[in-house]
Each structure stands twice: as C-alpha cells, then as structure tokens.
Amino acid sequence: MFCPDCGTWNRGGAAVCLRCAAALPDVPSRPDAPDALITALRQATGNRYRVLRRIGSGGMADVYLVEQETLGRPLVLKVMHAHLSRDPEMRERFRREAEAAARLVHPLICVPFDYGEVGEMVYLIMPYLAGGGLADVLGKSRTMPPVRVAEVGVQVAAALDHAHRHGVVHRDVKPDNVLFDEDGNAYLTDFGIATAQFHARLTASGRAMGTPHYMAPEQAMGKTLDGRADLYAVGVMMYECLVGFPPFDAADAFAVGYKQVHEEPVPVTEVNSEVPAPLAAIVMKCLAKAPEARYQRGAELAAALDGWLHDAGVSREGYARTNVPGVGAAIPAYVTPHTTPGATER
C-alpha cells in the first residue's frame, strides 16, 4: 500500500512505512477487482488457478497470489513482463533456466511447479511461502542477531551447494530472493527468473548483468562465473544483515561495480564491534576479491557457519533442514571453472 503521509509504496502487511515510519492503515486483504489481465491469466492457465491478488512486481515479472482450484492450496504465479516475453532470447532463457531450476530437488530450494506459454503470456507457478522474505526483515529492523544471520547463511549456502553440484549458478543471490516458511526456514528462490534476467553474459558484448550491490568482482567485470560468485553474494548479504548496509554503495550501478572490483570492504567488526570476531572472519572470507581465496563450495561455507554456531552453543534443531552432504568434512577446491564438473556457468 502507499503511505498516506509520504506516498512511499510499502510491501503488503507492513505495519509502518519503511521510509517515514508512519503507521500504515490496517486494510483487510481482499482479491483485486476483476480486470482483463486477471481474466487472461485464468484463461492462460486453463482455469486451474484462481487469481486472488497481485502481491509484487519486479524487473522481470509480476507476482500474483493464486489458489489452485483442485487442491485449494495457495501458490504464486509469476508472469513475465510482456515487453520481455516478446524478446525471443529472453523468452528462451526464461524457459531454459526455469527447466534447469525445476530439476533442483532440495528441501531449501523453491522451484517451479509449472511453466506455461500462451501467446505473449509466459508464466511460472511457484510455492507460496508465508513467512515473508529476508528483504522484509531488513526493511523493518535493518539488522539481525548474529546467530540468526549464521542460521540463514547455513541454509542458503546448503541450497547453493546443491545447485552448484548440479551445474546451476544462481547469479542473483540477495535478500529479495531468500524467503521464509512459517517455521523460519530460509529458502532460496528465483533460480528461473533471476538467472534469465541477470545472466553474466546476456549478450555477446560481455556486459555484466546483476544486482550491483551483491555482484562478485568477476561478475561486475562480465567474466564467466562459477559458484564462488554466489558465495560472494552470500557474504554481502550476511554483511548487510550484521551491520545494516552492504559493504559497497554509490550513486549509480557503475560506481558500485567499480568498488566491488577495486576497493576492499570495511571489516565487519570495525562497523559493528558487537559482531563476534569468528563470524565476522567467515563473512570477510566470502568477500575476498579472488575467487580462490573464498570458500570454494557452499558446503564448505555451511560447515564453517555450522561450526561457529556449535561453538556458540546453538542447537542444530533450528536449521536442521540444511541437508548438506559432507558438512564438517574436507571440501575439494575448484581446480579451474572449466574443469569442475557442474560448477561453471551454463
């Protein structure tokens, strides 16, 4: 809804405005009024889903809450923007990457249930996660307790380890793409949409694509990526969760990308001295400029965070759905991006 005081758009369910902190009116949720687009969506999906309301919009797609008619369960419908669906290259990459993501069977990866194309309408059906997103949490509180940051980091790293071992590099790990279920488990999402839009070499020009604040140096330079670029993004995300802002910021995307490549981040403990030094060291290792200086596998990062949590006396019960093979064991390093099976960018 729009804030009545400053006019800022806020995510559904927000209690106060994220910009001016004014209390937002309590408006009961209800389905959007029928319109031509919703009618078209019902027809495109064969009337299998009842469209309840639009819940978001991004650079790649509009997002709707729907109800599956046959089972009565809530799902998410993501509809590719029409101007993108008319581009044959973007349409094909959307389909190809969605197909790849659908093969990632992991308890902490949110993957498509269905995919369809009807004319210019291209859509995905995704699970609905009722716990909101990491971006919502940061929008309300700016930071999170170190233990919670590590728990989320373990689960995201575990999900990425599975994806990387199956040849998929996410390329757009950020708070918007981490969602929570009702029990607080963190799910990595938008493999299909994010990788279709933010492809490291979307065109032959080598122009780098991505969300600049979370891009690894090699991604900012438009180089070929492997899973270690995703682990850099996890480091950025944990840094932001601990101190309240990402390590690099600037007036425009180019300037942020320049800093990713050429500047060193301010150490976590210098920004927030209350962050435990061992956890801060894990985050800073993720942010190493050279990929070979970072954690080499998602399982290796998950094991480091799991070890810190264990030393801090935290039970694994709260984040036990990691399902990381070999946690605590030696993790083989990358040799080169081209000789690591399943790890290089597709």
CA 335/CA 105 separation, integer angstroms: 26
Under the banding of pLDDT at 50, 70 and 90, the label for residue 167 is: confident
Of residues 186 and 31, more confidence is placed in 186
Q: How confident is the model at residue 114 (pLDDT cuts 50, 70, 90)?
A: confident
The CATH number of domain 36-127 is 1.20.190.20: no
Task: Summarize pLDDT for 119-153 with one digit per residue, the tens.
Answer: 888 888 999 998 989 999 999 999 999 999 999 99
Residue type, 254: F
- Give me 266's structure tokens: 């301010």
Count Cβ neighbours within 10 Å for each residue of 325-337 and write b for 16 or more, e otherwise. eebeeebeebeeb
Q: Where are the domains of the chain?
A: 36-127, 134-322
**Strand positions, DSSP E, the chain:** 49-57, 61-68, 74-80, 114-118, 121-127, 178-180, 186-188
168 near 191, Cβ under 8 Å?
Answer: yes
**What pLDDT does residue 157 have?**
96
Which of 136, 161, 172, 176 is the catalytic position?
172
Polymer length of the chain: 346
CATH architecture of residue range(s) 134-322: Orthogonal Bundle (1.10)
Return the pLDDT at 325: 54
User: Between 53 and 302, whose confidence is greater?
Assistant: 302
Asked if pLDDT for residue 208 goes beyond 80, the answer is: no
Give the integer Cα–Cα distance in Å for 123 and 102: 14
Identical fold between 36-127 and 134-322? no
Contact criterion met (CB below 8 Å) for 196 and 90:
yes
* pLDDT, position 10: 59
Average pLDDT of span 272-289: 98
Q: What is the pLDDT of residues 25-43, one digit of tens each?
A: 765 544 444 456 677 777 7
What integer pLDDT is reported at residue 221 of this predicted model?
Answer: 93
Cα separations (Å) of 116 from 59, 77, 95, 280? 19, 11, 9, 44
Residues with Cβ < 8 Å from 263, sequence gap 6 or more? Answer: 248
Q: Judge whether 172 counts as a catalytic residue.
A: yes
Tokens of 200: 């490291």
